[in-house]
Structure 1
Amino acid sequence: HYFGAKDELLLATMRHILAELTADTLRALGSANSARERVSAVVAVNFSDIQFQPETIAAWLAFYVEAQKSSAWRRLLKVYARRLHSNLMSGLTGILPRAEADRAAEATAAMIDGLYIRRALKDGVPDAATAIALVEDYLETKLGERRKQ
C-alpha cells in the first residue's frame, strides 16, 4: 500500500537494515578497547540477533540479486561494502601492515557475505555463534601467521 512496487519495498527495507547495521557498528566500535576488539566487534555486529535473522537474511539475498540488475542497487551495495571494509580496516591496520590488512578485510567481508548466502540457502534457525566462530578462526589464523614472522 505504501510502496509502488515490490522493488521499492525491498529498497526501503535494505536502507533500514543498513541504517541499523551502521548504528550498531558505531556503538560496538565505540566500546572496543583495542584494534583486535574493533575487528571482532564488526564481525559480531554482522551476526547479531538483530541482523542475522531469517527475514533479514532473505532481504540480503534478494538485495544481492537485485544489485546485479540495477545500477542504483549496485551503488547501495558498494556503499555497504566500502563501509564494511572501512570498519574492518579500522582495527586491522592497527595489527597488520596496510596491504595485509586490506587483504584480511577483503577476506573477512567475503566470509561474512558468504555466510549470509549459505544461511539463506539452508533450512532452520541461523546459527550466529558458528558463523562468528568461523570468521574469528580465520582471523586468528591470519594474525597468528603474522606473529610467527
Structure 2
Amino acid sequence: MQRCEIKAKRTQDLIDATLISVDQHGLHHTTIKTISSIAGISSGLISHYFDGKQGLIEATQRYLLDNLKHALLIRVQNKKLEPQQRLFAIVEANFTDLQCSNPATKTWLSFWAQAMHEPQLARLQKVNNQRLVTNLQYSFAQALEKNDAIDAAKQTAAMIDGFWLRSALQAKPEEAFKEAEQLCKRYISERLR
C-alpha cells in the first residue's frame, strides 16, 4: 500500500472509531484512548493526523456532512428531475442508513450541542444549514413563486431537522425515521399542490 492509501485508511479508521466511541461513551467520555483502542491504532496518530481530539471530532463531522452531500448528489446529479422528485431526493439524503445509524445520530446530537460553544463546529453547522435551505429553495422555486419558495424551503428544512431529531430520540428510531421521511414528503406534495 502506498503512503497516501495508508494515510487515507488510517484517517477513515479513526473517523469510524470516533463514531463508535461517541455511540458507546458519549462525546464527553470519548477520549483519544477510547478512539485509538477501537481503531487499533496508536493514540499518537490522532495527534499526527488531526492535531488531537478536537481536530478528529471536526473531521468526523465533516465526514457526516460530506456523506450527506454525496447522498444527495447520487440522487440528483445528471438527472432530469421534476421539482417534487428533487425535493424528495433531498429528504431521502437526510434519512440514509448512515445518517440514521446510532453512531451518526449520537455524533450529530453531540455536535449540535458543542456547536453552541465551539466556533469551528458552529461554522460547520451554518454551512450545513445553508446548504439544506439553498437546495430546498432552488427546488421549490421551480414550482412556486419566490416568496412561497423561500417559506416552503425554511419550513421543510425545519421539518427535516425536527423530525430527524424526534426520531433519533425515540426508543425505536428505525421506524420513526421511516415515518419522518414519509411525513416530510407528504408535506412537500401538499405544498406543491
TM-score, with length taken from structure 1: 0.87
Corresponding residue SS for 2:96 = coil
What's the counterpart of residue 157 of structure 2?
109
What's the counterpart of residue 46 of structure 1?
94
Deviation of residue 38 (structure 1)?
0.7
Q: Are 1:141 and 2:166 an aligned pair?
A: no
Identify unmatched segments of 5+ residues in structure 2. Answer: 1-42
* Letter aligned with residue 26 of structure 1: L
Counterpart pick for 1:16 among 63, 84, 91: 63
Question: Number of aligned pairs?
Answer: 143
User: Contact 2:116 / 2:122 at 8 angstroms: preserved in 1?
Assistant: yes
What's the counterpart of residue 122 of structure 1?
170
More divergent stretch after superposition (112-121 vs 13-22): 112-121
Q: Distance in 1 between matches of 2:129 and 2:173?
A: 25
Q: Distance in 2 between matches of 1:129 and 1:85?
A: 21
Runs of 4 or more, structure 1, over 3 Å off, are none
TM-score, with length taken from structure 2: 0.68
Q: Distance in 2 between matches of 1:122 and 1:129?
A: 12
Q: Distance in 1 between matches of 2:168 and 2:138?
A: 29
Deviation of residue 45 (structure 1)?
1.0
What's the counterpart of residue 28 of structure 1?
75
More divergent stretch after superposition (56-65 vs 46-55): 46-55
Deviation of residue 69 (structure 1)?
1.0
Q: Are 1:37 and 2:85 an aligned pair?
A: yes
Q: Are 1:131 and 2:146 an aligned pair?
A: no
Deviation of residue 9 (structure 1)?
3.0
Deviation of residue 26 (structure 1)?
1.4
Higher relative contact order (CA 8 A, sep 6+): 1
Deviation of residue 119 (structure 1)?
2.3
